[in-house]
Amino acid sequence: MRGLELGRFCGQILQKQSFVSLACHCIQFSPLSASPVSFRCSLLHLGCRSTGTSSSEQSEVNLTPNNSKAESNESTQKLLEILATSPAEQQRPSDMGHLKKVADSFFNMGFSPAQMMQLFTLQPSIAPQSRLAVISELLLLGLSIDSTLKILQKHPEVLKLSAKHLKDRGDVLRRLGFKEGSLDHVAFHYPSIFILPHKRIQAVEHLLREKCLFTVQQVSKILQTCPNILLEDLDYLECKFQFAYFRMGVKQRAIVKAGYFQASLAEIKNRVIFLERLGLYQTPDKKGQTQIVNPKLKRIIRASESDFVTNIACSSIEEYEIFKQLLAREEEQRWKHEALKVELLDLESDGEESDTE
């Protein structure tokens, strides 16, 4: 009886371990001379599952091959086909080895296959190497891949810029106080910042420094929180500042702290004049004194319309809407009156010149 049980036990062991001899036969190496690493790699090649037991522990290792490399190679191959058939490559015989290096560079920078396909549909006439240089420079400025893609989607002409131009623009923005995080935020929401003429940026900086008398730190804060002013008309920007400074009596520090330039001048005027006519706002005198306590600038411009009307103006939406319509008519009549005065002055000057002649 013992012999029969022993025979069955040996048969079970041989049945369970039969894959080892099969693996050795297929890989053609001696199990005695093979290292555990080479044996494991061979099993990986065969897609086998190895199970070993010992007196102290039992472990199971899943040796199923990883398909990520195969998927990456497939994506690279598709990208190479797109690059090889692009207009830039049709102008000369395509070098697949060169194109593969470009594709690998994008993979190494963190672009997914889908992002790379999307990227190479923009400005297809641009050579892959030039495209790589521009995008590398954008990433070196501290931009994320998402911000870089958004910039290029909104303004694909950025791909035509030189790497030197982007580097110089980055130096200008850093001088204005844009660090990596703030630069990424600005580039994501206002991607045209990279194609603005340098003179335009200088003009805005000059206006804020020389005419509005903001400090260097205040200019940096304004541009970081309100980068849209780089796209606004300079006269409009100056009028917006003058309304806060002269009409509202608010100084530079409070203007910056309130994020004043984020709001439109029309909405600011509507709210301030509405409060004035309700007796809830008063322009300070030369000493900065008022007979009432004015609401803070930040509350006036940052509150939602319903919150402004209800909690600050203590009025109703219907009354505020009627006021805005009446104020618009007043503005229109004022502009017509100003235009008529200018026209009369021009006629008078023309008459004087004719009498002199």
Least confident of 34-48, 160-174, 240-254, 314-328: 34-48
CA distances from 350 to 80, 253, 336, 338 (A): 71, 47, 21, 19
User: Which range is most confident: 84-88, 97-101, 201-205?
Assistant: 201-205
Domain ranges of the chain: 2-50, 81-185, 196-262, 267-349
Average pLDDT along the chain: 78
The 3 state secondary structure assigned to 1-66 is: CHHHHHHHHHHHHHHHCHHHHHHHHHHCCCCCCCCHHHHHHHHHHHCCCEEEECCCCEEEECCCCC
pLDDT for 106-140, tens place per residue?
A: 889 999 888 888 888 888 888 888 899 999 999 98
* Strand partners for 60: 51
Residue 313 has pLDDT above 80, yes or no: yes
pLDDT for 129-178, tens place per residue?
A: 889 999 999 998 888 898 899 889 988 989 999 989 998 998 898 888 88
pLDDT band at 14 (very low <50, low <70, confident <90, very high): very low
Measured distance CA(220)–CA(226) in Å, rounded: 10
DSSP strand E in 182-257: where? none
Better pLDDT: 21 or 225: 225
Better pLDDT: 55 or 187: 187
Measured distance CA(306)–CA(323) in Å, rounded: 15
pLDDT band at 87 (very low <50, low <70, confident <90, very high): low
Measured distance CA(173)–CA(194) in Å, rounded: 10
Better pLDDT: 357 or 182: 182
Q: What is the pTM of this model?
A: 0.66
Residue 294 has pLDDT above 60, yes or no: yes
Tell me what pLDDT residue 86 has.
60
Cβ atoms of residues 219 and 208 within 8 Å: yes
CA 146 to chain centre: 7
Residue 286 has pLDDT above 90, yes or no: no
Angle, alpha carbons 123-127-131 (nearest 5°): 70
Specify the residue for token string 């490559």.
89
Tell me what pLDDT residue 67 has.
52
Cβ atoms of residues 265 and 229 within 8 Å: no
* Strand partners for 50: 61
Better pLDDT: 34 or 126: 126
Better pLDDT: 270 or 12: 270
